Amino acid sequence: MDANLKTYFEKHNIEYKIHAHPAVFTVAEHSKLIGKMPNILHTKTLFLKDDGNNFYLVGMYAHKRLDLKVLKEKLNAKKKLSFASPEQLKEK
């Protein structure tokens, strides 16, 4: 766990439990872990960008579909939203 996050949790008396697991890159891979971690909210994280080169990190329930058009409107994003490239993720 990131030291700053741990400090924040402790400062604000936020209880947490660390669950170690191998890295997963799809919801399908993630689904294999569900039985090993009961009572956990399973999420996915999407790294998106708009045509104006603005980037967005979106966390959401793992088994929901994201409507990019609706999210674009909510974010007041420029033009269309799309997935950022692995290179852009690494850069950011």
Q: Which CATH class is domain 3-91?
A: alpha beta
> Where exactly are the structural domains of the chain?
3-91
Only one residue has tokens 């569900």, namely 34
Q: Please report the pLDDT score of residue 9 as a whole number.
A: 95
Q: Please report the pLDDT score of residue 25 as a whole number.
A: 82
Q: Please report the pLDDT score of residue 32 as a whole number.
A: 77
Only one residue has tokens 């033009």, namely 79
Per-residue burial over 73-92, b = 16 or more CB atoms within 10 Å of its CB, e = otherwise: eeeebeeebeebeeeeeeee
Digit-coded pLDDT (tens) for 33-90: 766 666 777 788 999 999 888 999 999 988 889 999 999 999 888 788 999 999 999 9
Digit-coded pLDDT (tens) for 7-36: 999 999 999 888 777 888 888 887 777 666
Q: How many CA atoms within 13 Å lie on the side-chain side of 82? A: 9
- Measured in whole angstroms, the distance separating CA 70 from the mean position of its chain's CA atoms is 18
Q: Please report the pLDDT score of residue 49 as a whole number.
A: 93
